[in-house]
C-alpha cells in the first residue's frame, strides 16, 4: 500500500496540485484526499472487518478490534511548498495498542516501518537502535514546530528545551520521527499530536528498541485526543524528561 | 570536482569515519580533511595562480585576484550523527565578489550551483526563483542553530523571529541554503557565518534571482570575518528585515 501511495504522491508532485486552508488554518491538498481514499479502498477490500481513523475523512468501524490510522500527508505545510519533509503515515491498532507502523517519505525515498514481533526496518534494512555512544548533550534533538507547543499551552517547555540542550532543531512532523527512529537525531520532542501522527512511530519505536514516552494525553480517546510525546535513544529521552518535567 | 568529492564523502559514510572535537568545540572528521585536501590538489593542478581559503587548512595565495573558498563538510554536526543535511561548499571569488558557487549535498543527492552569467541550477535544471505567490507569512523561514545567534550576541533577533513569523524552522547549514535558493523555504536567516559558509550561496543567489542581504559583517575581511545574512524570495526577505531591524 505504501508503494502505491508513494507513486500517487510523486506523480502529484510532478504534475502539480492545488491546496486550500482547513478550518484549523492548516493546509490541505487534493493529494491528501486522494491518498486517504486510496488507502481506505485497499483496507476495505483486504480487511473488511477493520475500522479506519483518518485525518481527512470520517472514522469507520469504531468498535472494531483492529483499526487503521491514516495520515495521508503528514507535513502538509512542507508538502505545499516543495520541502521534501512530508510523508504518509499508516498504523494498525489492536484495541488501543499500535502493533504495526509505516512512515513513508516519498521526497526522501525513505521508508521506516515496524510490526510487533517482526522487527523494524529502514528501506528494508533491519533497524535496532544503539543508545548514545558519546556525550548525550552532543546529540541533536528534534522538535515539532513552535506553534504546536504554543497551541498545547506548553511554550515554556519548548523554550526550556532550547535553552538547556545545545542542539535543538525543528525537524517537524515525520522528518523528526524517521530520524529519531533511525538514531540519527538522539530523540524527538513532539507535542499536540493526533493519534494518526503518533501511532506508527509508537509501533516502530518498540520494535526498534527506542524509548517512547507519552507525557500527556489530552481530550477524549481516539481521533480527538492530543498526545505530547518524547522518543528516541533511551539515554537522550531520559535527559529530555529531566529537562521537561 | 563536486562529483569527485561526493563519491569521496559517500564512500566514507559507507565505510565509517572517525571524529574529534576542534578548539571551538565543533566536530571535525577525517572526511573534512580528505575532501579539503582533494579540492586543493585539483585547484592547484588546474589553476596554479589561484588562492584558496578553506575551513580546515591554512589559506594560500591570499593576494591572488581569484580565490576559492572551501567548506569541505558544512554541517559536520549532522554528518557525524548520520543526519543527511550536510554538504560540500565551493566558491570562487573575484576580488571579494563571489562569482561561482556550488552546494553539493551527497546525503540528499542534491546539487545547487550558479556562476555569473551562466545562471543557476538545481541538479542540472535551471533555477529561477519566483517571488512568494501567496501570503508571505505562510512561507516557511529557515534559520541556523540557536547557538549561532547566541555566539553572535543576537539571541534576541532569533527569539523575535520565532515569535513574529508563524513557521520558523532550524534547517541549519547548507540544508537551509539549498532550500531557500530553490524557493522551497521562503527565506533563510543565518548568523555568524564564515566566508566559506556564505560565498557559494551569495554567488548562486544572484543568478537564481534570490535577494541576498548581509546585515552585518564583524571582524577582519577574509577568513576571520563573520557574516549575518538573510536570503530568499524578495518579499519574504523584506518581511524578515522588518522583523529583524
Test the B interface: residue of A127, A170, A176 with most B CBs within 10 Å: A170
**List of chain B residues whose C-beta atoms are within 8 Å of the C-beta of residue A129:** none
Mean pLDDT, range A1-9, rounded to an integer: 98
By Cβ distance, the residue of A83, A169, A183 closest to B140 is A83
State the smallest CA–CA distance between residue A111 and chain B in angstroms: 15
**List of chain A residues whose C-beta atoms are within 8 Å of the C-beta of residue B186:** 81
Beta strands in chain A (DSSP E): 19-21, 27-29, 51-54, 66-74, 87-94, 97-105, 110-115, 119-122, 125-127, 141-143, 168-169, 187-193, 211-218, 226-232
Asked whether the beta carbons of residue B184 and residue A82 sit closer than 8 angstroms, the reply is yes
Q: DSSP character for B203? A: H
Mean pLDDT, range A198-220, rounded to an integer: 96
By Cβ distance, the residue of B108, B167, B172 closest to A145 is B167
**pLDDT for residue A92:** 98
Q: Categorize the per-residue pLDDT at A94 as very low, low, confident or very high, splitting at 50, 70 and 90.
A: very high
**pLDDT for residue B23:** 73
DSSP run (H or E) holding B231: strand B226-232
Asked whether the beta carbons of residue B170 and residue A169 sit closer than 8 angstroms, the reply is yes
**pLDDT for residue A241:** 98
Q: For the segment A24-38, what is each residue's pLDDT rounded down to a tens digit?
A: 777 788 999 999 999
Closest CA to A6 of A111, A79, A97: A111
**List of chain A residues whose C-beta atoms are within 8 Å of the C-beta of residue B185:** 81, 83
Q: Tell me if residue B20 falls in helix, strand or coil.
A: strand
CB B71, CB B32: distance < 8 Å: no
Asked whether the beta carbons of residue B145 and residue A139 sit closer than 8 angstroms, the reply is no
Residue for grid cell 535551471: B126
Mean pLDDT of chain A: 95
User: Taking the CA atoms of chain B, what radius of gyration do you get in angstroms?
Assistant: 17
Share of chain A above pLDDT 90, in %: 89
> What's the number of CA atoms in the CB half-sphere (13 Å) around residue B41?
8
Per-residue pLDDT of chain B (245 residues), as tens digits, is 999 999 999 999 999 998 887 777 777 889 999 999 999 999 999 999 999 999 989 999 989 999 999 999 999 999 999 999 999 999 999 999 999 999 999 999 999 999 999 999 999 999 999 988 889 999 999 999 999 999 999 999 999 999 999 999 999 999 999 999 999 999 999 999 999 999 999 999 999 999 999 999 998 766 789 999 999 999 999 999 999 98
**Max alpha carbon distance in chain B (Å)?**
50
State the smallest CA–CA distance between residue B3 and chain A in angstroms: 20
Test the A interface: residue of B16, B19, B81 with most A CBs within 10 Å: B81
**List of chain B residues whose C-beta atoms are within 8 Å of the C-beta of residue A183:** 82
Q: DSSP character for B62? A: T
CB B71, CB B26: distance < 8 Å: no
Asked whether the beta carbons of residue A145 and residue B170 sit closer than 8 angstroms, the reply is no
User: Taking the CA atoms of chain A, what radius of gyration do you get in angstroms?
Assistant: 17
User: Of how many residues is chain B composed?
Assistant: 245
Which chain B residues touch A if contact means CB-CB below 8 Å? 77-78, 81-84, 108, 139-140, 145-147, 162, 166-172, 179, 182-186
Is residue A67 over pLDDT 90? yes
**pLDDT for residue A167:** 97
Q: Helix count (H) and strand count (E) of chain A?
A: 8, 14
Angle between helix axes B174-181 and B195-208 (nearest 10 degrees) is 10
Integer angstrom CA distances of residue B62 from B51, B54, B67, B98, B101: 6, 12, 8, 15, 19
Which chain A residues touch B if contact means CB-CB below 8 Å? 77-78, 81-84, 108, 139-140, 145-147, 162, 166-172, 179, 182-186
State the smallest CA–CA distance between residue B149 and chain A in angstroms: 12
Asked whether the beta carbons of residue B146 and residue A140 sit closer than 8 angstroms, the reply is no
What does A42-89 look like in DSSP terms, one character per residue? HHHHH-TT-EEEESSS--B-TT-SEEEEEEEEE-HHHHHHT-S--EEE
On whether the pTM is more than 0.90, the answer is yes
Mean pLDDT, range A221-226, rounded to an integer: 79
Closest CA to B208 of B129, B132, B131: B129
**List of chain B residues whose C-beta atoms are within 8 Å of the C-beta of residue A162:** 146
**List of chain A residues whose C-beta atoms are within 8 Å of the C-beta of residue B78:** 140
Q: For the segment A38-50, what is each residue's pLDDT rounded down to a tens digit?
A: 999 999 999 999 9
Closest CA to A174 of A58, A242, A63, A84: A84
ipTM: 0.95
CB A141, CB A168: distance < 8 Å: yes
Share of chain A above pLDDT 70, in %: 99
Q: How far is the C-alpha of A142 from the C-alpha of A180, rounded, in Å?
A: 8
Which grid coordinates belong to B146?
A: 540557536
Asked whether the beta carbons of residue A82 and residue B183 sit closer than 8 angstroms, the reply is yes
By Cβ distance, the residue of B145, B166, B185 closest to A167 is B145
**pLDDT for residue A222:** 67
State the smallest CA–CA distance between residue A148 and chain B in angstroms: 10
**List of chain A residues whose C-beta atoms are within 8 Å of the C-beta of residue B169:** 145, 169-172
Q: How far is the C-alpha of A74 from the C-alpha of A79, rounded, in Å?
A: 8
Amino acid at each position: 500500500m505504501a508503494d502505491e501511495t508513494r507513486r500517487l504522491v510523486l506523480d502529484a508532485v510532478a504534475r502539480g496540485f492545488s491546496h486550500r486552508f482547513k478550518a484549523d488554518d492548516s493546509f490541505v491538498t487534493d493529494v491528501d484526499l486522494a491518498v486517504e481514499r486510496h488507502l481506505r479502498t485497499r483496507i476495505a477490500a483486504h480487511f473488511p472487518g477493520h475500522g479506519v481513523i483518518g485525518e481527512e475523512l470520517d472514522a469507520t468501524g469504531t468498535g472494531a478490534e483492529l483499526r487503521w490510522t491514516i495520515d495521508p500527508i503528514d507535513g502538509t505545510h512542507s508538502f505545499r511548498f516543495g520541502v521534501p519533509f512530508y510523508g504518509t503515515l499508516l498504523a494498525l491498532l489492536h484495541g488501543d495498542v499500535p502493533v504495526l507502523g509505516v512512515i513513508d517519505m516519498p521526497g526522501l525515498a525513505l521508508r521506516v516501518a515496524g510490526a510487533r514481533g517482526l522487527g523494524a526496518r529502514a528501506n528494508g534494512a533491519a533497524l535496532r537502535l544503539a543508545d548514545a555512544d558519546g556525550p548525550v548533550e552532543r546529540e541533536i534533538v528534534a522538535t515539532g514546530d513552535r506553534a504546536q507547543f504554543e497551541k498545547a499551552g506548553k511554550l515554556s517547555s519548548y523554550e526550556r528545551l532550547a535553552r538547556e540542550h545545545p542542539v535543538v532543531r525543528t525537524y517537524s512532523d515525520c522528518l523528526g520521527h524517521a530520524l529519531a527512529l533511525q538514531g540519527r537525531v538522539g530523540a524527538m520532542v513532539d507535542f499536540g499530536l493526533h493519534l494518526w501522527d503518533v501511532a506508527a512511530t509508537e509501533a516502530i519505536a518498540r520494535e526498534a528498541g527506542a524509548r517512547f514516552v507519552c507525557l500527556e494525553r489530552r481530550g477524549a480517546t481516539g481521533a480527538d485526543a492530543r498526545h505530547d510525546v518524547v522518543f528516541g535513544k533511551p539515554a537522550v529521552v531520559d535527559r529530555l524528561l529531566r529537562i521537561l518535567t
